[in-house]
Each structure stands twice: as structure tokens, then as C-alpha cells.
Amino acid sequence: MYRTFATTLMVGVLAIGAAACGSDTDAAEPGDSTGGAAGGACLVGDADCYEDGTGNPAPSDPIGDEFPVDQTIQEAHGLLGMSESELSPDVRIARRGAEQMALTEDYRLGRMTVELDDTDSSGFRVVSVTVELPDGPQTFHLTPS
């Protein structure tokens, strides 16, 4: 009788575990915003999936030739020499003096990541900007005057 109970208990635990993990039929497909096993999340490297978990670009996600490369590069140059307090909240700080910040490794077109130094004892200023562009990241440095 103990073996029957133990076997029944083991089968029940396995069935609950399998249901909680999902199956291949639960997997989210590009364009499926309802979830599935991945809960609508994009998998790393999935070119058909966007940040909102669907196969459809968000209105703010520029695609292909539509991305304003020249304007974005001008914006990056505009950050050089700017004080830390003037930076927009969407600009990532990679380094402040000797302090390195933890950053994600995802690639987002137009994202700007800066490095800050206190070059003239007036506070931290942007000395380097890396901008993520369709053809790869570009880094711009403050030239000493």
C-alpha cells in the first residue's frame, strides 16, 4: 500500500511540474503578445521580436533606412563637455571617474552611453559618448582645448 501511495504521489508531482514549465505548444511565436511559456518575452537574438514582446515594432523603434543616423550623431556630439547634472535620464553612464558602472549588453539603436571625468575640478563632465547605430556603435571623445 505504501508503494502505491508513493507512486501516485510521484506521478502527481511530475505532472504538476510539467504543467508549470509549459511545453513546446506553449511557446510564444513572433507576433504573439499573449505570452505562452515565455510570457511574451523576446529571446536573445530573435530578430523578429521587439521590446514589447511582439513581432511588431513599437512606434519608437525606427527600422532600417528610417533611422536618423546623422541627427543621432549630432546629438552625441552635443553631449561632449556637458555636465552630469544636465544629462537626460535616458543617457547611460558607463564610468564616472574611476567608478565603472554595470551595464546591460543589449543593443538599442540610438542609445547613448557616456563616460564622465572631472577634468577641471568643476564637476563631472562628458568626455566620451558611445552611440548605438545600425552599422555598429561609434564612440566620440572630447578633444582637449
SS3 of the chain: the string is: CHHHHHHHHHHHHHHHHHHHHCCHHHCCCCCCCCCCCCCCCCCCCCCCCCCCCCCCCCCCCCCHHHCCHHHHHHHHHHHCCCEHHHCCCCCEEEEECCEECCCCCCCCCCCEEEEEECCCCCCCEEEEEEEEECCEEEEEECCCC
pLDDT of residue 119: 86
Q: What angle do CA 49, 55, 61 make, to 5 degrees?
A: 75
pTM over 0.85? The answer is no
Q: Is the Cβ–Cβ distance between 113 and 94 less than 8 Å? A: yes
Read off the pLDDT of residues 2-11 as tens digits, 9 standing for 90 and up: 555 555 555 5
Read off the pLDDT of residues 31-62 as tens digits, 9 standing for 90 and up: 444 444 444 555 555 555 555 555 555 555 55
Q: How far apart, in whole angstroms, are the C-alpha atoms of residue 112 and residue 76?
A: 7
Task: Name the residue with higher pLDDT: 129 or 7.
Answer: 129
* Every domain of the chain and the residues it spans: 1-59, 64-141
Fold entry, domain 64-141:
Trypsin Inhibitor V; Chain A (3.30.10)
pLDDT of residue 120: 87
Read off the pLDDT of residues 12-27 as tens digits, 9 standing for 90 and up: 545 555 444 544 444 4
Beta-carbon count within 10 A of 53 CB: 20
